[in-house]
Amino acid sequence: MSDILNELYTTIVDRKQNPKPGSYTNSLFDAGEDEIVKKVGEEAIEVIIAAKGQTDQRVVEETADLLYHLWVVLAWRGVTPAQVIAELEKRHRK
């Protein structure tokens, strides 16, 4: 996994454990699970819309937003990106 994705996850977990006033990540954690998963859904839809008729740059931007919000879900649940990578590797080897 890329260093930036590891750094992002580490920062998100740090915000969960050490809230920082004004942090968007903390606002998600404060809002709770329903808001967190709602944001994942919204970002997934935005990726679809971008892929269907917007520029490649918009696809990149919306995908970055989706990945961030997925990492927030993982941190909320106590799941690590390494667990997701391991699952992908397991599936790839089949």
Question: At residue 1, does pLDDT exceed 90?
Answer: no
Q: 3-state DSSP helix/strand/coil percent for the chain, to nearest 5? A: 85, 0, 15
Q: Which of 67, 70, 88 lies closest to 79, judged by CA?
A: 70
We report the CATH number of the domain holding residue 36 as: 1.10.287.1080
Our count of domains for the chain comes to: 1
Task: Give the chain's mean pLDDT.
Answer: 96
pLDDT in tens, 37-62: 999 999 999 999 999 999 999 999 99
- % of residues, the chain, pLDDT over 90: 96
Domain that holds residue 55: 3-92
Model confidence band, residue 94 (pLDDT cutoffs 50, 70, 90): low
- Alpha-carbon distances, residue 32 vs 24, 49, 64, 66, 93 (angstroms): 13, 26, 21, 17, 36
pTM: 0.92
What is the total residue count of the chain?
A: 94
> Which residues are CB-neighbours of 48 under 8 A, at least 6 positions away?
none
| Token digits of residue 20 | 């920082």
